[in-house]
Amino acid sequence: MSPFPTHLLSMDDLGADEIAEVLAVTDSFAEVGRRANPKVPTLRGRTVATLFFEDSTRTRMSFETAAKRMSADVLSFAAGSSSVNKGESLRDTVETVAAIGIDAVIIRHGSSGVPARVAGWVDHCTVINAGDGWHQHPTQALLDLYTVRQALGGGDRGLSGFAGLRVVIVGDIRHSRVARSQVWAYAALGAEVTLVAPATLLPPSLEGWPVAAVTQDLDDVLPKADVVSLLRVQSERGSGRFVPSLREYTAGYGLTARRAALLQPGALILHPGPIVRGVEIASDVAELPAALITEQVSNGVAIRMAVLFLLLGQGPVEGAHRG
């Protein structure tokens, strides 16, 4: 295996081997999570800071839980949202964090590319992208892969199950950092990705995207799908303005009870959360055994433990350029 990268900024940073490594290590951390005392001394003495410039419940809690379960010290920055923006003020904040001697910064920002900028400013500090603008949200894609691998039988058997797996990603692709991470993650493992979205919610260009097909007809692709991955209609990013109405969106792209019945047995339903019931997914459908939304959240902690461990716990690798 090539050395694990220094930062996790984008799914582009990880090839198929690194993804396999993350998923294998996640198995071990999932076992830790099942114990009566789910805590290991692995990152004792390390300090991790969450630097969130945008609202988040599950990602922030998930990262902080992951770090604490590994005995790292966690600093939680209340980055007073709107007043802090790109430019000097962000740089000052980050340099302060680096000067304090923090080992890893977990950053979420409304602007694409901020984690990459930050990674260029700091020495001896690992940067993890917890979601930047429309760009990337790599740990979300990794936990999706882990959840699917688990459903496919786990271990290497689950991993080989990705070859030719038909994955349908439905919804606001345009504004979705989750979709951008997912597409590359699934493609890296050999899955066949189809995007389903109204033309207004597709990115201006799909050039270079490793997707097999793009369609507006959800009913057509559902019967052949192995995995249906839904995206939230992101009102805060204005997705609502790109469709005539939410009712119309649901009519064309919502996973309603009628559409769920088109799925083949064994097909899986994923959603990164938070779900907006009745818009992109019907309430009853979200409760189906095929819907792995709760599993995704539980797996999120183990995935983030694995990512922190692989980024912080590996020490100097011969021949690698770190820091």
Partner 1 sequence: MAERERSHTRPRGSVFVPRAQVMSAADVHRAITRMAHEIIERNRGLEQVVLIGLQTGGVAIAERLAGTLSELEGTDVPVGTLDVAFYRDDIGLRPVLPEAATDISFDLTGTTVVLVDDVLFTGRTIRAALNALGEYGRAQVVELAVMVDRGHRELPIRPDYVGKNLPTSRDEMVDVSEDGVAIGDLVSR
Contacts to partner 1 by CB under 8 A: 1, 21, 24-25, 27-28, 30-32, 35-37, 40-43, 46, 70, 309, 312-319
Closest distance of CB 47 from partner 1, Å:
13
Burial of residue 194, with CB atoms counted within 10 A of its CB: 0-12 exposed, 13-18 middle, 19 or more buried: buried
Q: Are 235 and 171 in contact (CB under 8 A)?
A: no
DSSP state of 199: G
For 187, phi then psi, to 5°, come to -65, -40
**Beta-strand relationship, 268-270 and 126-132:** unpaired
Return the number of the residue (22 or 230) whose C-beta is nearest partner 1: 22
Closest distance of CB 121 from partner 1, Å:
23
Return the number of the residue (45 or 265) whose C-beta is nearest partner 1: 45
The secondary structure element, H or E, covering residue 195 is: strand 192-196
Return the number of the residue (71 or 93) whose C-beta is nearest partner 1: 71
Q: Are 49 and 102 in contact (CB under 8 A)?
A: yes
Closest distance of CB 193 from partner 1, Å:
29
Return the number of the residue (41 or 204) whose C-beta is nearest partner 1: 41
Return the number of the residue (46 or 232) whose C-beta is nearest partner 1: 46
Between CA 168 and CA 225 the distance in angstroms is 6
Closest distance of CB 29 from partner 1, Å:
8
Closest distance of CB 66 from partner 1, Å:
13
